[in-house]
Amino acid sequence: MATVPVYRWRLAPDDLATRRQLRALGLRPGGQDVAAQVERPRRRRGPLVAYLYSIEQAKPVRPMTPAKRAALAKANAARRTCPACRRDAGYVIPVSLGMCATCAFPEEQRAA
Ligand SMILES: [Zn+2]
């Protein structure tokens, strides 16, 4: 790997970001090489090193694949299905109830 500039902690240029900072911006390094690194000195141990990437060259986080989207939709549907009446409640079944409101409070539903 080519040598990269090393900056002191917090003194890195503004157009560079760590992987974590990119993620907060909805970005990922996208195959680019490390542009620089920052080092935070630590007592008696080696410095803490973080790698920096160019924000300019970063790419948006990969969009969700259709398969992943389908799996997520299925999981959400399962969470909305009441285990007592097997109906889609239209909302996520509260863990505290363990069933839909209609099943949990039949009297109140009839009164309403
Ligand atoms: Zn129910």
Q: pLDDT of 43-53, one tens digit each?
A: 999 889 999 99
41 inside domain: yes
pLDDT, position 39: 92
The answer to whether residue 39 is domain-embedded is yes
Whether 95 maps to a domain, the answer reads yes
Domain count, the chain: 2
Ligand 1: distance of its center to the CA of 88 in Å? 8
Q: If we measure between CA atoms, which residue out of 47, 62, 66, 61 comes closest to residue 9?
A: 47
Same domain, 18 and 55: yes
The pLDDT mean for the chain works out to: 89
Residues 37 and 80 in one domain: no
Question: Are residues 4 and 37 in contact, defined by beta-carbon separation less than 8 angstroms?
Answer: yes
Domain identity same for 83 and 45: no
Give me the residue label for tokens 């803490």. Answer: 48
| Res 1 pLDDT > 60 | no
| 71 C-alpha to ligand 1 centroid (Å) | 23
Structural domain boundaries, residue 21: 6-60
Environment of ion ligand 1 (residues, CB < 5 A): 82, 84-85, 100, 103
Instruction: Please compute the mean of the pLDDT values over residues 52-63 and round it to a whole number.
Output: 90
**85 and 41 housed in the same domain:** no
Residues linked to residue 37 through DSSP beta bridges, in sequence order = 6, 51
Q: Please tell me whether residues 94 and 52 are part of one structural domain.
A: no
**Residue 100 in domain:** yes
Cα-to-centroid distance, 70 and ligand 1 (Å): 24
Q: Quick check: 57 pLDDT over 60?
A: yes
Any domain includes 1 = no
Q: pLDDT (tens digit, 9 = 90+) per residue, 69-94?
A: 898 889 889 999 999 999 999 998 99
Identify whether 48 is part of a domain: yes
Distance 80 CA to ligand 1 centre (A): 10
